[in-house]
Copies of this chain bind each other. A is one copy, B any other.
Amino acid sequence: MNHTITRSLSFFFALLFLLLTTVAQAATDPLPSWNDGTSKSAITAFVQAVTDKSSADYVQPSERIAVFDNDGTLWSEQPAYFQLYFVIDRVKAMVAEHPEWKTQQPYQAVLEGDMKALAASGKKGLVELVMTTHAGMTTDEFAEIVKKWIQTAQHPTLHKPYTQLVFKPMLELLEYLRANDFKTFIVSGGGIEFMRPWVEGVYGIPPEQVVGSSIVSKFEMRDGKPVLVREAKLNFIDDKEGKPVGINQHIGRRPIFAFGNSDGDLQMMQYTTLGTDKKRFAGIVHHTDGKREFAYDRESHMGRLDKALVDAESNGWTVVDMKKEWKVIYP
């Protein structure tokens, strides 16, 4: 063989080796959308520790409960919670039967897209809008309304279906945990019945593993058919101090893994990780990527950053820098 052929062959085999190594890495990497870094290492180290039978940190499968906030953690939440766009779209769809709304607040504000007037209607206005659009029908009817909306509605500025605005790295994380015998739950301030119709298809999380805010429902027999009628009455707010309460009510075990993105998730992360010497994990999605998603921080804690972010280091919580640590945002 002459030199040229030898060199070509060497080059060919080097290339082949590189290719095979890359393929092998991709095949074994459970979190391919995560850049190597502190967050990815923290997650995989935790999962390895609690699933290794010879480890002092081993946790039996039945206790591997992982809880995830939804808005801002599994999908985007800007410029407003997506459930608000559902409310707005419902008011627009319902106005034909309620012509009086055209000159009546807070409906007029919604119909005219007047966010200033909507804000002026305050919490009372918002609750009225939620009740008008979420109550008065059966649970089956409401599920159908949500299903149709989520299939057709589009985000107002990104012009994509909301179900495409979920975070690919988090979808991989859910899969990775389930592959390691974790049971994954959503624990969201959003409406439990607003999430259930679509989260199984999108996140692989079944309805019985969704915890959320709710209104009261009531059993009735209608024409021989048993139904649950949704009433314009608050039942439970699954936010802040409510999240550990909702977790206990629905799951009845303390999670060992929690992911959130704001002070709405603070108590859930405390409940999961503090006051024990056992290995626990809490992660925070930090919205640092104004180009690919949205860059923002709240100032909810005495005019400062979210307490969850402020306390992250001292609590040993993992803060995910979206811009640096996620290769892609959306699927």
Contact = CB atoms under 8 A, between A and B. Distances in A.
Interface in A244-276: 244-245, 248-253, 267, 270-271, 274-275
A267 B207 contact: no
A271 B275 CA distance: 42
Interface in A190-235: 192-193, 196, 200, 206-210, 214, 217-219, 221, 224-228, 235
A90 interface: no
Interface residues of A, number: 39
A148 B183 CA distance: 28
Contacts of A217: 245, 248-249
A206 B275 contact: no
Interface in A36-86: 62, 65
A218 B245 contact: yes
Interface string A79-103: 0000000000000000000000000
A207 B245 contact: no
A139 B248 CA distance: 9
Contacts of A242: 219
A275 B218 contact: no
